[in-house]
């Protein structure tokens, strides 16, 4: 076994590998960029080496820098994680040339599966079932379109060197093909340095089921059952589970045998994942093979009781597989939900921000949190916006799903937009509970998933108002204690008024609803709280007093109309997040309207939805455009976003050029809508 390994990755996967290495007594070396100098994986490792600037192409993708760090520290092996250099055949070969073990498959296997079109050819010859498609060398747009037209729409464009949904587009008609092809090729070139494409017939109701395989250097192979990864957005997985619901033993065995056949065809070693499309009639088709550990590997670990990173290390060190096929069994059910800094209500655009408050659910035998960030860390524009992987396990699917929804309700994050509420709605939806799954699940059930949880104003408005009253009083007491005249009436925040009841008045914006609220101080120290908006009016009685320790730090304990409630309230940049077991509610104080101080209205234009880089301007200045036509294309956090004309009109002027970095909210283009007739 190795004494020291280097982990050529960052974030949660680097932390994940470090934990297993530490368990085995193996020392670890982390690498880091300028953006990751204070990151968790750097702190956890025994050593860390700086390898470059924040952009991954100037750090984590520089194979020479990684190898230099390995030689500098005396690391005997490199674990590539997933992404970055994990499926880079040249890097694997360079490791071998420098007498450093690459903890992954042989160079030939990576090369064989590195091109999706070549992989299809190999799998076809090996007898693995394939989806109908075009995988040819002629990459001219006309030929690609000709094959798509002949195949019939919808079709799926896929980068031959791709993965993780990059360089992939669904095309529903011939008219959409050219623009989709340009976007897919551009994204593929940016992500993989290769813009070759293949085309497949798009199955409209398939499930995405993948098989975890493992081979040692002695030629022994096993499959560790399957994962269902059907629930996806942007062709990237959202919630994964193992085993696949409804899977019968005959189909499981057939898919497992096909996966082993695929791996044997390329003389595989180590951990790999063979991905299939499973149709309703139980027929299945090879999609691709990922020659690395997958993001969703923990669900397989949870149902098998095996540590797959430990298996990787043992196989790479020349040891035999720990178990044979007949020794592997399925125990219970597991889910993984990916917690991202992204906005599901804005096409899942990644967002940046500081994790000003981060409280994951408590870990146990049933709940596991794999993360690479801590409270106070920044989600930057340079990398994937994953915050954590939430993994749960229980004896069967229903119990595991209950664990998942409970854990999601306990996940509390403030300082950036996240997908936690979206995940909760998805996991709690009736179709998901019934395991009515396919790759179009999110679009098909968008009304169920994207609804805003109805806020019980009767419950949360009094909590928000009570917090503001108590916080004002506590802040005033703190200021008084630090004053030379602590008993000055100017330090009082009791809401006292001449000839009137003591009262606290606020204007709040709570989850998008403007409310006027008032807290009247009662003789027993409690409050009568009233609130109103254009269509809501309510009252509530809060028992207790300012001196009863209702608010301790960020913990609020309240008795509202006889109902005792516990909440956590945190503030960031003037926005308050109120967390209870039932919901997360955001509110802020509305400043008085003093009118437009500068008197200037902003010029008509379109703004950047996020920090990123301008990668293309499909039209020129002074060009007439149609509603929905692409006018600016941005790239950020490994994803591409197209900004389209909101109406027929004219692009008067661009404020940035291709290659420019822009801040979120920056005005990109001066656009004039055509006058309506």
Catalytic positions, written as ranges: 292
Query: 164, 275 in Cβ contact below 8 A?
Result: no
Angstrom distances, CA of residue 224 to CA of 56, 105, 210, 401, 430: 32, 17, 10, 22, 29
Pairing of strands 77-79, 101-102: parallel
Q: 637: closest CA among 351, 236, 388?
A: 351
Q: 165: closest CA among 87, 83, 235?
A: 235
CA 223 from chain centre, in angstroms, equals 27
Q: Counting beta carbons within 10 angstroms of the beta carbon of residue 606, is it exposed (0 to 12), middle (13 to 18) or buried (19 or more)?
A: middle
For the chain, the straight-line distance linking the first and the last C-alpha, in angstroms and rounded, comes to: 77
The rounded distance, in Å, linking the Cα atoms of 263 and 275 is 12
The rounded distance, in Å, linking the Cα atoms of 538 and 392 is 39
587 contact partners, CB below 8 Å, separation of at least 6: 464, 508, 509, 510, 511, 575, 576, 578
Give DSSP secondary structure letters for 477-521.
HHHHHTSSSTT-GGG--S--BTTB--EEEEEEEETTEEEEEEEEE
Query: 651, 623 in Cβ contact below 8 A?
Result: yes
* Sign of torsion over alpha carbons 192, 195, 196, 198: positive
Angstrom distances, CA of residue 535 to CA of 34, 60, 457, 589: 51, 54, 12, 19
The rounded distance, in Å, linking the Cα atoms of 258 and 265 is 11
Query: 289, 210 in Cβ contact below 8 A?
Result: no
The rounded distance, in Å, linking the Cα atoms of 40 and 352 is 18
Query: 497, 503 in Cβ contact below 8 A?
Result: yes
Provide the 3-class DSSP secondary structure of residue 78: strand
Provide the 3-class DSSP secondary structure of residue 226: strand
Query: 357, 553 in Cβ contact below 8 A?
Result: no
Q: CA dihedral defined by 86, 91, 95, 96, rounded to 10 degrees?
A: 110
Tokens 């623009």 identify what position? 179
Neighbours of 623 (CB within 10 A): 14
Query: 145, 138 in Cβ contact below 8 A?
Result: no
> What phi and psi, each to the nearest 5 degrees, are found at residue 567?
-145, 155
Query: 547, 526 in Cβ contact below 8 A?
Result: no
Query: 3, 9 in Cβ contact below 8 A?
Result: no
221: enclosing H helix or E strand: strand 221-233
Neighbours of 663 (CB within 10 A): 12
> What phi and psi, each to the nearest 5 degrees, are found at residue 144?
-60, -45
Joined together, the tokens standing for residue 425 give 């709605």
């Amino acid at each position: 076994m190795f004494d020291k390994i280097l982990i050529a990755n960052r974030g949660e996967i680097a932390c994940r590998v470090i934990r297993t290495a530490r368990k085995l007594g193996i020392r670890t070396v982390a690498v880091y960029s300028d953006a990751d100098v204070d990151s968790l994986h750097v702190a956890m490792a025994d050593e860390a080496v700086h390898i470059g600037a924040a952009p991954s192409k100037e750090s984590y993708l520089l194979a020479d820098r990684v190898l230099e760090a390995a030689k500098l520290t005396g690391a005997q092996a490199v674990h590539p994680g997933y992404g970055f250099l994990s499926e880079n055949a040249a890097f694997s070969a360079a490791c071998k040339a420098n007498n450093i073990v690459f903890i992954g498959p042989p160079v030939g296997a990576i090369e064989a599966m590195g091109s999706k079109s070549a992989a299809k050819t190999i799998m076809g010859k090996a007898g693995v079932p394939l989806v109908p498609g075009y995988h040819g060398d002629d990459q001219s747009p006309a030929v690609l379109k000709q094959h798509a037209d002949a195949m019939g729409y919808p079709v799926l464009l896929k980068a031959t060197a791709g993965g993780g949904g990059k360089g992939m587009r669904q095309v529903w008609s011939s008219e959409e093909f050219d623009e989709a092809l340009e976007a897919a090729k551009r994204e593929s070139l940016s992500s993989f340095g290769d813009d070759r494409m293949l085309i497949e017939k798009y199955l409209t109701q398939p499930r995405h089921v993948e098989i975890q395989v493992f081979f040692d250097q002695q030629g022994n192979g096993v499959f560790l059952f399957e994962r269902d990864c059907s629930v996806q957005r942007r062709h990237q997985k959202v919630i994964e589970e193992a085993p696949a619901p409804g899977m019968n033993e005959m189909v499981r065995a057939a898919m497992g045998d096909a996966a082993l056949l695929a791996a044997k065809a390329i003389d595989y070693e180590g951990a790999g994942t063979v991905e299939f499309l499973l149709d309703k009639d139980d027929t299945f088709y090879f999609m691709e093979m990922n020659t690395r550990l997958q993001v969703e590997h923990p669900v397989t670990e949870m149902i098998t009781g095996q540590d797959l990173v430990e298996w990787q290390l043992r196989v790479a060190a020349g040891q035999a597989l720990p178990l044979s096929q007949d020794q592997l069994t399925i125990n219970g059910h597991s889910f993984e939900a990916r917690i991202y800094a992204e906005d599901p209500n804005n096409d899942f655009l990644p967002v940046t921000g500081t994790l000003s408050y981060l409280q994951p659910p408590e870990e146990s035998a049933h709940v596991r949190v794999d993360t690479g960030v801590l409270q106070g860390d920044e989600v930057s524009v340079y990398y994937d916006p994953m915050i954590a992987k939430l993994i749960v396990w229980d004896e069967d699917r229903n119990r595991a799903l209950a664990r998942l929804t409970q854990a999601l309700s306990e996940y509390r994050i403030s300082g950036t937009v996240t997908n936690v509420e979206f995940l909760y709605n998805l996991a709690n939806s009736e179709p998901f509970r019934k395991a009515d799954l396919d790759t179009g699940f999110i679009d098909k059930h968008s009304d169920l998933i994207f609804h805003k949880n109805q806020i019980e104003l009767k419950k949360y408005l009094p909590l928000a108002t009570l917090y503001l009253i108590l916080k004002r009083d506590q802040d005033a007491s703190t200021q008084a204690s630090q004053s030379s005249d602590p008993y000055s009436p100017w330090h009082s925040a009791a809401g006292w008024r001449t000839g009137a009841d003591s009262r606290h008045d606020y204007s709040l914006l709570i989850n998008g609803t403007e409310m006027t609220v008032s807290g009247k101080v009662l003789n027993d120290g409690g409050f009568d709280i009233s609130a109103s908006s254009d269509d809501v009016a309510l009252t509530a009685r809060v028992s207790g007093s300012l001196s009863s320790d209702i608010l301790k730090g960020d913990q609020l304990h309240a008795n509202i109309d006889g109902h005792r409630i516990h909440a956590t309230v945190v503030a960031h940049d003037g926005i308050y997040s109120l967390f209870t077991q039932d919901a997360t509610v955001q509110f802020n104080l509305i400043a008085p309207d003093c009118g437009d101080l500068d008197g200037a209205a902003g010029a008509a234009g379109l703004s950047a939805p996020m920090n990123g880089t301008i990668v293309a301007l499909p039209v020129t200045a002074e060009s007439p455009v149609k509603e929905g036509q692409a006018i600016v294309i941005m790239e950020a956090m490994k994803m591409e976003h197209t900004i389209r004309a909101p109406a027929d009109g004219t692009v008067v002027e661009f404020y940035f050029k291709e290659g420019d970095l822009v801040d979120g909210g920056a005005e990109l283009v001066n656009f004039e809508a055509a006058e309506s007739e």
